């Protein structure tokens, strides 16, 4: 297998869609060709990270994840006595507004 032949198979190889015989050929070539390994790694990175601009750093992502987890893990506070009727009132007011709006059309 030549480097040119390998280029066409790299994407399929990445997604595991090369038949076993072809896979052996790809791996054999990758083992012996540093240039193609380099291309394969670059291709993998491109597929996995997407090409759309800069990504948040690992620290930023970890911080975001921690914040999201903290938010999810927060214990649910019981409703105060006045919150439930207020929420219900707001919901029915929204429905009324929607009805009036629909009639107006
Ligand atoms: Zn090669």
Which pLDDT does position 62 carry in this prediction?
Answer: 81
Element (H, E) at 102: helix 83-104
Q: For the beta carbon of residue 49, count every other beta carbon within 10 angstroms.
A: 9
Six token digits for residue 63: 């911080």
CA of 42 relative to ligand 1 center, distance in Å:
14
Which pLDDT does position 64 carry in this prediction?
Answer: 80
CA of 25 relative to ligand 1 center, distance in Å:
11
CA of 32 relative to ligand 1 center, distance in Å:
8
CA of 36 relative to ligand 1 center, distance in Å:
4
CA of 53 relative to ligand 1 center, distance in Å:
28
Percentage, residues of the chain above pLDDT 90 = 38
Q: Is the pLDDT of residue 96 over 90?
A: yes
Mean pLDDT for 62-76 is 78
């Amino acid at each position: 297998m030549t480097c040119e032949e390998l280029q066409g198979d790299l994407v399929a190889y990445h997604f595991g869609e090369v038949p076993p015989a072809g896979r052996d050929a790809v791996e054999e070539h990758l083992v012996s060709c540093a240039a193609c390994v380099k291309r394969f790694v670059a291709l993998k990175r491109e597929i996995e990270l997407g090409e759309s601009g800069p990504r948040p750093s690992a620290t930023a992502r970890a911080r975001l994840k921690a914040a999201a987890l903290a938010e999810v893990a927060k214990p649910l506070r019981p409703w105060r006595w006045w919150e439930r009727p207020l929420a219900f009132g707001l919901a029915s007011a929204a429905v009324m507004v929607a009805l009036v709006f629909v009639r107006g059309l």
